[in-house]
């Protein structure tokens, strides 16, 4: 049904220029209204400030009567399913003195309409003027070479356009001077006016409205060097220019570099990626040998081992990414097949490869043998956030004397890291769907890292699968009415509550009763342990109605970043690891695993169950080489 309504919205001239992602947000914000025959929907003469809704007919018919335009009268019209009316009320230039020019009544015994008021449109989707402006700027950004190769998603482009700051510059202003150091690299978009660009050989070019410059400063510089301009750029007239700074770009995209993705791709190829048509077994297995040192965990499909790579590593292994210790996830092919979760394994591998954030575990490589598939990840030595919260002898105990719970400033640090990791996924249309303290590990600096992406999924619009940890599920996940990134924001609200108070906001021994409590939004625990700002954020994240939840409004994830609770967090410094963590794990050496509950286990994988047939082996090829 949603796709049908999106198709209707594409026909509305007012929405021309908006892409399907924005149109889907409009559909999600609409409410259902039912009218009986003869009931007035819009009254002629009402001012649009009072009667300001846009309607799409779902079922039934309406009659448009008493139409007067420009002093001329028109015959009545009948509108049916898939048609729309009232869109003019959403215009930015509609003021209180503009009135409806026709009366619209229900023609059928029962007419069902989807409606959206201007106030809700602005709150949940954004002002129409801003949407149209952003749509144009998204098209501009995606056409720039530096962004085109990054294959940015809709949310990433939105994050960038929202951070372009328009500034006025006087005639003669010098943006860059040839061979001078550029302390704050930025991308510049000329809104009005013009600039002159003079090259080292003395060639001068004039750039005018619609042009851009500064992109060459955004590429990664050599280690230890400064960004240097190769041109002199001066305002040729008074200018209005949109400025998008490099550090702002990196923060918006949650990246450490604009070249990181390319570097990862090169690394993957160097580490023995099999070429199409090569029938030999994995070159990675043949080149690299692993030594198992300890078993870090055991799950339903296999074990996770702490391993080192044999000293005979490939010479081309990038030193910057070189790590002696890895976490090797060994999963039984037979168990995966028997439980019918091959699709989940393929999806997890693809998603891990597409992500590049310091707040999300990194997949170094994957390979297989006759019985198992292997996912080699970076080793995160600090243990679980759950352990820090509930089991460790800490000096981080809550100031209010809770049995558990962190000091609020420390909880804020971990929540900020988790938010950064979730935002990185969301900008790529990936939902995490399994946030909980057990799935947040701490790296050697004490920074949070999201792990276990088995439930993660690429979701352009909505998905209907129920999965996750019961006490962290959003109401729309439980009712299976369709969920999007708002479900992760709900889980973030639960996590913040638990980090500060040491208890979950929703709890019950009976799962069905727990779900009932969640769907009503009725807290099982008191919020007395939360500051006013934290309480406000939690309430806004735990809004039962998903479309009114913080993070799902017109500002998207930025609304969460901008909340007053996070006002003392510098997310740029957090990304570059410049903020001191509340607790730094004591790691004696690279083999130290004391922060994990190390299991006993044999070094050899003894599970050999029923052998796989060729067809079954082929199903796993996509995991390793697809």
Domain ranges (residues) in the chain: 2-121, 163-253, 262-277+284-378, 385-575
Beta 232-235 vs 457-458: how paired, if at all? Answer: unpaired
Residues 58-95 as b or e (16 or more Cβ within 10 Å = b): bebebbbbbbeeeeeeeeeeebeeeebbbbebbeeeee
- Confidence band (pLDDT; 50, 70, 90) for 57? very high
| Whether residue 505 has pLDDT greater than 90 | yes
Give the span between the Cα atoms of 183 and 57, in whole angstroms.
Answer: 56
Pick the CATH number of 2-121 from 3.30.43.10, 2.60.120.10, 3.90.1200.10, 3.30.420.10: 2.60.120.10
CATH 2.30.30.760 fits 163-253, yes or no: no
Mean pLDDT score of the chain, rounded to an integer? 80
**Is 254 in contact with 357 (CB distance < 8 Å)?**
yes
Residue in 155, 434, 443, 484 annotated catalytic = 434
- How many residues does the structure list for the chain? 626
Comparing 90-99, 325-334, 513-522, 545-554, the range with the smallest average pLDDT is: 90-99
519 — phi, psi (to 5°)? Answer: -65, -25
pLDDT of residue 392: 61
Ramachandran assignment for 105, one of left (phi > 0), alpha (psi -120 to 50 degrees), beta (any other):
beta
Tell which wins on pLDDT, 465 or 285. 465
pLDDT, one tens digit per residue, over 162-190 is 788 899 999 999 998 888 888 888 999 99
Give the span between the Cα atoms of 521 and 497, in whole angstroms.
Answer: 14
Task: Decide whether 2-121 matches 163-253 in CATH topology.
Answer: yes
Tell which wins on pLDDT, 290 or 413. 413
Give the span between the Cα atoms of 593 and 600, in whole angstroms.
Answer: 13
The stretch 453-459 carries a mean pLDDT of 87
434 catalytically annotated: yes
Pick the CATH number of 262-277+284-378 from 3.40.50.1220, 3.40.50.10800, 3.40.50.300, 3.30.200.20: 3.30.200.20
pTM for the model stands at 0.70
pLDDT, one tens digit per residue, over 364-380 is 888 777 788 888 888 88
The stretch 245-261 carries a mean pLDDT of 72
- Confidence band (pLDDT; 50, 70, 90) for 259? low
Residues 196-228 as b or e (16 or more Cβ within 10 Å = b): ebbeeeeeeeebeeeebbbeebbeeeeeeeebe
Give the span between the Cα atoms of 271 and 323, in whole angstroms.
Answer: 14
94 — phi, psi (to 5°)? Answer: -85, 120
Give the span between the Cα atoms of 233 and 246, in whole angstroms.
Answer: 18
**Is 397 in contact with 381 (CB distance < 8 Å)?**
no
Q: What is the CATH number of domain 385-575?
A: 1.10.510.10
Give the span between the Cα atoms of 416 and 251, in whole angstroms.
Answer: 13
pLDDT, one tens digit per residue, over 87-145 is 877 776 544 566 778 899 999 999 999 998 888 888 877 777 777 777 888 888 888 88
The stretch 12-17 carries a mean pLDDT of 80
Comparing 6-20, 75-89, 274-288, 312-326, the range with the smallest average pLDDT is: 274-288
pLDDT of residue 59: 93
Q: The tokens of 181 are what?
A: 């150091």
Q: Which one, of 264, 183, 263, lies nearest residue 217 by Cα? A: 183
């Amino acid at each position: 049904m949603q796709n049908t309504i999106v198709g209707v919205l594409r026909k509305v001239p007012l929405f021309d220029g908006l892409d399907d992602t924005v149109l889907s947000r409009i559909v999600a914000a609409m409410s259902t209204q039912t009218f009986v025959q003869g009931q007035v929907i819009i009254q002629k003469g009402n001012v649009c400030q009072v009667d300001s809704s846009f309607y799409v007919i779902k079922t039934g018919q309406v009659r448009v009567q008493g139409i007067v335009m420009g002093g001329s009268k028109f015959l009545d019209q009948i509108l049916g399913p898939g048609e729309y009316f009232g869109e003019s009320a959403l215009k930015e230039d509609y003021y209180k003195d503009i009135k409806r020019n026709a009366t619209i009544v229900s023609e059928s015994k029962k007419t069902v309409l989807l409606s959206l008021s201007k106030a809700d449109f602005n709150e949940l989707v954004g002002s129409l003027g801003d949407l149209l402006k952003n749509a144009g700027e998204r098209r501009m950004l995606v056409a720039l070479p530096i962004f085109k190769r990054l294959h940015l998603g809709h949310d990433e482009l939105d994050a960038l356009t929202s951070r372009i700051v328009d500034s006025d510059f006087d005639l003669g202003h010098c943006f860059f001077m040839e061979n001078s150091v550029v302390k704050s690299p930025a991308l510049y978009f000329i809104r009005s006016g013009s600039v002159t660009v003079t090259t080292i050989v003395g060639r001068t070019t004039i750039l005018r409205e619609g042009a851009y410059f500064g992109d060459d400063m955004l590429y990664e510089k050599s280690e230890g060097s400064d960004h240097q301009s190769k041109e002199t750029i001066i305002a040729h007239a008074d200018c209005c220019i949109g400025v998008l700074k490099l550090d702002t770009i990196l923060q918006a995209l949650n990246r450490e570099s604009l070249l990181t993705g390319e570097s990862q791709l090169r690394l993957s190829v160097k580490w023995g990626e099999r070429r199409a048509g090569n029938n030999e077994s994995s070159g990675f297995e043949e080149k690299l040998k692993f030594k198992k040192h300890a078993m870090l965990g055991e799950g339903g499909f296999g074990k996770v081992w702490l391993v080192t790579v044999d000293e005979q590593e490939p010479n081309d292994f990038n030193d910057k990414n070189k790590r002696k210790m890895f976490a090797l996830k060994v999963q039984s092919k037979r168990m995966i097949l028997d439980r019918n979760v091959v699709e989940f394994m393929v999806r997890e591998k693809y998603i891990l490869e597409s992500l590049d954030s310091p707040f999300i575990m990194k997949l170094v490589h994957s390979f297989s043998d006759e019985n198992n598939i292997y996912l080699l990840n970076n080793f995160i030595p600090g243990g679980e956030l759950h352990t820090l919260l509930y089991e460790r002898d800490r000096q981080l105990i809550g100031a209010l004397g809770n049995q558990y719970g962190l000091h609020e400033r420390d909880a804020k640090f971990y929540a900020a890291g988790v938010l950064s990791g979730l935002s990185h996924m969301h900008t790529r249309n990936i939902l995490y769907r399994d946030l909980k303290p057990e799935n947040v590990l701490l790296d050697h600096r004490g920074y949070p890292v999201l792990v276990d992406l088995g439930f993660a999924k690429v979701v352009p619009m909505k998905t209907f699968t129920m999965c996750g940890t019961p006490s962290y599920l959003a109401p729309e996940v439980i009712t299976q009415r369709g969920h999007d990134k708002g479900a992760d924001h709900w889980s973030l609200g639960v996590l913040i509550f638990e980090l500060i108070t040491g208890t979950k906001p929703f709890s019950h021994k009976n799962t069905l009763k727990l779900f009932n409590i969640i769907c009503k939004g009725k807290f099982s625990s008191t919020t007395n342990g939360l500051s006013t700002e934290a309480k406000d954020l939690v309430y806004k994240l735990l809004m039962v109605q998903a479309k009114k939840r913080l993070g799902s409004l017109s500002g998207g994830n930025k609304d969460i970043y901008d909340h007053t609770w996070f006002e003392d967090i510098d997310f740029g410094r957090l990304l570059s690891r410049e903020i001191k963590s509340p607790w730094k794990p004591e790691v004696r050496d690279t083999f130290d695993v004391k922060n994990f509950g190390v299991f006993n286990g044999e070094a050899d994988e003894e599970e050999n169950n029923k052998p796989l047939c060729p067809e079954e082996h082929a199903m796993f090829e996509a995991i390793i080489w697809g």
